[in-house]
Amino acid sequence: MSIRELTPEQARGRQREGVLLIDVREAHERAGGMAEGALGIAKDELLADPARHLPDADREVMLICQSGKRSGDAAATLAEVGYARLASVTGGTVAWRVQGLPLVQPLLDASDRDFYDRYSRHLLLSQVGEAGQRRLQQARVLVLGAGGLGAPAGFYLAAAGVGHLRIVDDDVVERSNLHRQIVHTEAAVGMPKVDSARDRLQALNPQIAVEAIRERVTSDNIDALMQGVDVVLDGSDNFPLRYLLNDACIKHAKPLVYAAIERFDGQVSVFDAGRQRGQAPCYRCLFPEPPPPEFAPNCSEAGVLGVLPGLAGVMQATEVLKLLLDIGEPLTGRLLRFDALQMRFRETRITADPACPVCASGVPFPGYIDYAAFCSQHA
């Protein structure tokens, strides 16, 4: 059957006569304003159990959404199960607002109001929605390093609403950091990086927790640092720490989001061998041993374009969010390299090494080693 359509003014008139108006948008959409007097019931909730919400199938009901599409679809579905006196509001809440009809905001506590306002653009994405955003709210991410990579990645993870960031770094802010480590300011020079990062990230999003740990990461404390986290973001700048993080993530079965930068070039990948033994590669599968120092100088030796860690760090944050939300295709088994001077990207496939001493299927975790000695020996 065809569904009767009403203009917002007609619907308002019928509402004054006692006809029930139901807003079938999601709660986060209704938080921005809904037709005065409307009852808020999300479309999926209404259609899952119509009799619970509308026990009288002969009652006259009008449905409204954002633009009129969802309300029309919902009315058609209700008609199929026996509801006969249905109407949909043409143009939805958008048209209701344009015509100057009264809108109200539903009563929400301060935390819910902040949640719906702050993440409104995430909530519109079907791949995120309220359930996904709540998942981010419960997530815990370990960020190793509050420097060039950790700074931009931390900013975007905080802004995205990742509920708990554990940031570990033992360094202090220097003026030479400021051209690329954007989480820090001139006023923070001389301050521990983790304290500076915590203050800036919580100023951006006071609803998250930032755990600042001023320690050098070693084999002695890595297990404690890994406790309770969902994903590890590698913002390190040296090979011993990268190998340690790799091994710890395999031991604890956590995904590792990796990046490295030099001069004008960068690379990003996801190593998830801990959860996918024998299928996904680890960092050692890519680099069984560290390259000679002349082929991998650090930023203090070779220099780096200030925006380069921003590019890599934002890609890392993107991969972290995809992993937490379980959406898209992570960079697992793929190394994405980019040349900022030419703005060219190249992807290389990485396969799991069946003879890897740490991540091969069936191989027990061998324990941590002296990573500085391991890297020095091969260098």
Q: What is the pLDDT, as a whole number, of residue 109?
A: 82
pLDDT tens-digit profile of 234-252?
A: 999 899 999 999 999 999 9
Contact 318, 244 (CB under 8 A): no
| CB-neighbour burial class of residue 242 (10 A; exposed 0-12, middle 13-18, buried 19+) | buried
- Give yes or no for residue 377 having a pLDDT over 80: no
Q: What is the pLDDT, as a whole number, of residue 296?
A: 55
Q: What is the pLDDT, as a whole number, of residue 106?
A: 86
Average pLDDT, stretch 165-175?
A: 97
pLDDT tens-digit profile of 173-228?
A: 999 999 999 999 999 999 999 999 999 999 999 999 999 999 999 999 999 999 99
Q: What is the pLDDT, as a whole number, of residue 289?
A: 86
Confidence (pTM): 0.85
pLDDT tens-digit profile of 98-147?
A: 999 999 988 888 888 899 999 999 998 999 999 999 999 999 999 999 99
Q: How far apart are CA 216 and CA 201, in angstroms?
A: 21
Reference 66, options 32, 91, 97, 98; nearest CA is 91
Q: Which residues contact 192 (CB under 8 A, 6 or more apart)?
A: 169, 171, 172, 173, 212, 214
Reference 149, options 171, 175, 181; nearest CA is 181
Q: What is the pLDDT, as a whole number, of residue 158?
A: 98
Q: What is the pLDDT, as a whole number, of residue 301?
A: 62
Q: CA-based angle 72:74:79, to the nearest 5?
A: 95
Distances (CA, A) of 91 to 63, 94, 153, 182, 185: 11, 6, 40, 44, 48
Q: 264-288 in b/e burial notation, b at 16+ Cβ within 10 A?
A: ebbbbbbbbbbebbeebbbbbbbee
Q: What is the pLDDT, as a whole number, of residue 121?
A: 93
Q: Domains in the chain, ordered, with CATH?
A: 4-107 (3.40.250.10), 139-378 (3.40.50.720)
Specify the amino acid at residue 314.
Answer: V
